Amino acid sequence: MRDRLRALEPDFWRAPSAHNTQPWTLTYAGDEAVIGWDPSRALPISDPTGRDLRLSLGAFVECCLIVCADAGLSVGFRPDPGPGRAGVLHAAARPYATPFRTADVRDRGTNRGAYHPGRLPDGLVAELAGVRRLACRDLADLLYAADLHQFADRDVTRELRAWLRLTRRHRRYLLDGLTDRALALGRAEAAGLRASLALYPALRPLGLPRALAAASRGLLDHDGDVLVLVGPVEDELGMGRVLMRHWLTLSRHGYAAHPLSQIIDCDPTRRELAGRLGIADPRTLLHVARVGRPVAPAARSARTRA
Ligand SMILES: Cc1cc2nc3c(=O)[nH]c(=O)nc-3n(C[C@H](O)[C@H](O)[C@H](O)COP(=O)(O)O)c2cc1C
């Protein structure tokens, strides 16, 4: 099985991860493969609880199972959390039952560009378990507050900068992280962002966080939807699998997602969002994304395995 799984790794690696860190590892042992993560690819500053790490690992598990099933391999997943590990891919009696194919995994992508105006059909939202929907404009104030909070934090900004690849000359441009093209930035915008982040310590007291937050101010000022994934904090890995299925469902219908995790990374905006949704425990808000029909396709994100 090891050789067959190894051959499928480039498709497993199409799973999404926060900052495109691709934190997962696959360690083969006999007929099994342990799914773990590389601590040097976690985000200890911006994801201190490991929520996005576990969601990303869950998305990876789901991708592995879908891709194996499409290749006719009978592979299952057994959660087995421990230090640096999430669980095990093992031989199963039959292939994983899923409506999705490898082609769906390849076709999905985050799209941070413009979306056509309009809300998602009710029937489609009803298919997405654990999802609450809000109008984009109703969250514009929270996005600005969260962006300001994020960019005012030196350490969060430094960690983000380490995963930005804003010029094609970056040595990891084709491997991981967030490229200028994935962020839908033009050449001048990318150069401006690079320069301002390089000068962050000097420019921070002069209002750089405000300028950076202002750049995404218009993002939710349109007729569209934001989806919030709500679920048990103790099963973030399982919810990552759910999130992956949601993104594949949306993608099959011609929709794309643009996550806005900063809204739930920042305590005050997370509490405010929970209040607006009438949810008692803000920790159960696991993911937030703008969703819509993109005006143009997104650039394909980089991967270490291709
Ligand atoms: C748990 C999680 C959180 C994410 N948070 C954000 C976010 O806050 N902002 C953003 O632009 N993208 C976010 N993303 C999207 C990733 O940056 C994206 O999946 C990664 O760059 C790979 O690109 P792809 O989705 O096009 O394959 C998130 C993805 C995951 C799985």
List of domains in the chain: 2-107 (3.40.109.10)
pLDDT at 1: 82
Distances (CA, A) of 191 to 28, 152, 237, 297: 42, 20, 36, 22
User: Which atom of ligand 1 lies at the shortest distance from residue 112's CA?
Assistant: 11
b/e map 74-112, b = 16+ CB within 10 Å? ebebeeeeeeebbbbbbebeebbebebebebbeebbbbb
Pick the closest to residue 301 from 110, 115, 112, 41 (CA basis): 110
**Residue spans of alpha helices (H) in 21-168:** 51-70, 102-107, 122-127, 140-152, 154-162
Per-residue pLDDT tens listing for the chain (306 residues): 899 999 999 999 999 999 999 999 999 998 899 999 999 999 999 999 999 999 999 999 999 999 999 999 999 999 999 999 999 999 999 999 999 999 999 999 999 999 999 999 999 999 999 999 999 999 999 999 999 999 999 999 999 999 999 999 999 999 999 999 999 999 999 999 999 999 999 999 999 999 999 988 899 999 999 999 999 999 999 999 999 999 999 999 999 999 999 999 999 999 999 999 999 999 999 999 999 999 999 999 999 998
Residue pair 126/98 in contact (Cβ under 8 Å)? The answer is no
Q: How many angstroms separate the alpha carbon of residue 94 from the centre of ligand 1?
A: 32
55 lines ligand 1 (CB under 6 A): yes
Q: Which of 17, 46, 255 to mutate to test the pocket of ligand 1 (most atoms within 8 A of CB)?
A: 17
237 lines ligand 1 (CB under 6 A): no
Q: Which of 185, 261, 263, 304 to mutate to test the pocket of ligand 1 (most atoms within 8 A of CB)?
A: 261
120 lines ligand 1 (CB under 6 A): no
pLDDT tens, residue by residue, 84-120: 999 999 999 999 999 999 999 999 999 999 999 999 9
263 lines ligand 1 (CB under 6 A): no
Q: How many angstroms separate the alpha carbon of residue 29 from the centre of ligand 1?
A: 30
Q: How many angstroms separate the alpha carbon of residue 289 from the centre of ligand 1?
A: 9
pLDDT at 217: 84
